[in-house]
A and B are shown apart, each in its own frame.
Chain A
Amino acid sequence: MSGTSHAHELQPVGNSHAGEVGKAANQQVVIDCNIRELYYGPFKAVRDTIIPVKKNTITAFIGPSGCGKSTVLRCLNRMNDLVRGFRFEGHVHFRGKDIYHPSVDAVAVRRYIGMVFQQPNPFATSIFNNVAFGLRLNNFKGDKHAKVEEALRRAALWDEVKDKLHSSGLALSGGQQQRLCIARAIATEPEVLLMDEPCSALDPVATRKVEELMLELKTKFTIAIVTHNLHQALRVADLTGFLYVDTTQGGRTGYLVEFGDSKQLFEEPKEKHTRDYIRGEFS
């Protein structure tokens, strides 16, 4: 399955709209995600979801609870490997390489495709050690202090913590903890940052800060985000995929209904399901 998939670049994929060529649509595809069927044991969780994640853009996954948006996101750096009974048909290509190929090490994949979780999850150690974690994982030999400072500055946290780098990361507020986790994730300069509802545990002020941060970060990284907040998707995402739950075949299987430029998807959705879902939120 690995190999020649650079050909996927710039192709209009799946349900995306070739006509609506925004700036984001011209970017190179970093992750080409094509999930035909995804199972947890006997349970079919997701089907027919094709999402190209493009370089230096923010791609949002929206949809009702249980539609599999987090599942899809976790497929992109093989976090689902931790779930027993997980298997899927299809492929996920990262820069043209199939990350599910038997020869690929999931651990290495996660070093290129970092993750920020729903709950802020700093380690029970100092702020400095939290950010330096990834550097230590990779046996980074250079100037750790400079790297840590750079990551904390990028995560817009440096000014708040520069005087207490050696106090516990757990002592920070929820919003600060989440930015610390973002700093930790970007310290090793991954290609792609996956964010699984990064703001759902935060208050509006902290949410705003993290959103501003995402817009900053996309100049250097590529971001894919799962969010429950449609306003957030509209504010930050260049491209948005809408997933919905299909209950017609007995189970509850999520699938991609529509994918495209965020503005276009929110203002004039092509599909009825999308229209209904977005109208419910915005009216």
Chain B
Amino acid sequence: MAHVSVRDLEVTFGNLKVLQNLNVDVEEGEFLVLLGPSGCGKSTLLNSIAGLLEIAGGQIWIAGDNVTWKEPKDRHIGMVFQSYALYPRMSVEGNLSFGLKTARVPKPEIQRRIKAAADLLQIQPLMKRRPFELSGGQRQRVAIGRALVRDVEVFLFDEPLSNLDAKLRTELRVELKKLHIQLGSTMIYVTHDQIEALTLADRIAVMHNGVIQQLASPKEIYRRPINRFVAGFVGSPAMNFIDAKIKKANGGVSAVVDDGSEVSLNGYAFGNAPNEGQSISLGIRPEQLSMKGMNGAPTVPVTVSLIDPMGADALLWGNLGKNMISVRIGPEDGYKIGETVRPGFDPASASIFDAESGARL
């Protein structure tokens, strides 16, 4: 049985239905990331699991208990917030021990657990300090420690790294991953940052408009996005979308772009056979387009309009008909603006969506 199970969840704010018939199961020890743009309902889902929101319908089970109507403290959860939410008038030690004191844990046990958490997170020297005397990274460590000492079944993270600067974010992200391996606890993590999602998650739930669009492993989400939204949201730089029409000839399938050029799609595994003349969106990631000629691979003609150097590599921007296309190239590759290049790609690794519904074909 799943460790955390959300069944037919419904959450309303006034007349607005934020979440509807939402189902998700998280296995024990799994790291699930809820990914989506702001306003997609991911934080609402997390708050519902934590018991911080009144839900309009459905059930929530944690570790085999129906906790739908239970207080947050009785749900075996620990939570880490974006703004750290450390109690400003208490020392670090006070912050860590507050939950244990309210639960009337005996003093020696409190001391033992605080020490263990402090060792794990390397915050022993900070114990007597107040939150305002800590840096952002230290504060977030303390906030994680506060969840850690309570010895919980499930950790809930609400965009915990969003307030940190880029370097610290990467550091703490790595530490979080180590922590997950070390503890083996179930973790549910909300973020709008796809890099965090791809690096941390065992599975990612991509959310949009209160609906889980796709729930799968990071690899699957990245390689086989289930619809255009997921494809466009995950990946940086974003996936290229080429508007085209299906053309069937000689037993093969190809796409005709608006400028008349034809791109072969032979090799792509269609889930649903496309119709002649159907409008599609051909999705190719920038790194799937290669300037080095691949044997017999279909190519797309691109007129170079801009080169973006990005350190380790560079991004070539160009036009194919009305579509803007980006191609990942080497940092030293010399291309001239205005020149037409023909990067090739493997149709098997591309994604094709119906232009109207956005669903994967």
Q: Do A and B belong to a common assembly? A: no
Residues of A within 8 A of B (CB): none
